[in-house]
Amino acid sequence: MVGNETPHERDAARVGIYLYWIPLGAGGTGFVRMNGRIYEAVKARLDRRQPLDLYHTALEVCVPEGQYVVETMWPSPNGDTESRGVLIGGPVFARWMSRTRVFRYEVRCWQNGILPDRDLAAGGPQILTDDLRTAHLLLQTVGSVPALIWGRDQSGVEDMWNSNSVISWLLTRSGLPIETLQPPPGGRAPGWQAGIAVALEETPMGRFGSTHHPLTQRTR
């Protein structure tokens, strides 16, 4: 009976890829939100425009095998990466700084995982496709995300690599119509263009990171 289904069973039934536009720092202590506002104020002044609201993006991918949260977080909270589906780790600001966990970020593909501030996403979940093959392809691609340096412009498009870059990279590599996706009105997602630019480079899949299949392998 439907009434006896668990939340994860209901998620698995709604096959598809869902995008969330989450206000930066939503639900937190205010530290991330404050720093984001300072960054955006400086950037807006340099660009000679009005400051915009900043957004952090994340995905939920629902397939018959379960529901997966695909998200990039910094800093890594602890060394138990397997418990939260971490497939890739990368440095923040500089590679030598990543010797300490506070300067490492992690790319998660977390089965039955938790998406913090899910309910605070602007407009709720945005379904990108209900095609099962595309959903599986995206999950298989997470392990090939390039572990580029967070906060650095490595694409030449005047945009830094960050959590939004990972999401736009995955969507581009999965063949989804990335050009139609825009932040909510009055907002922007720093790093979004960097991910698209890197994904479109003429480089082999997996050049920057090892490949894992989240449906068949566990993170070690």
CB 76 within 8 A of CB 98: no
Sequence-ordered alpha helix ranges (H) in 104-191: 132-141, 163-173
- The alpha-carbon radius of gyration of the chain (Å, integer) is 17
Distance CA 121, CA 126 (A): 10
pLDDT in tens, 45-80: 999 999 999 999 999 999 999 999 999 999 888 889
| Separation CA 16–CA 135 (nearest Å) | 6
3-state DSSP percent of the chain in helix, strand and coil, to 5: 35, 20, 45
pLDDT confidence bin for 185, thresholds 50/70/90: very high
Is pLDDT at 7 greater than 70 in this prediction? Answer: no
Q: Enumerate the domain spans of the chain.
A: 2-199
Mean pLDDT of 187-207: 81
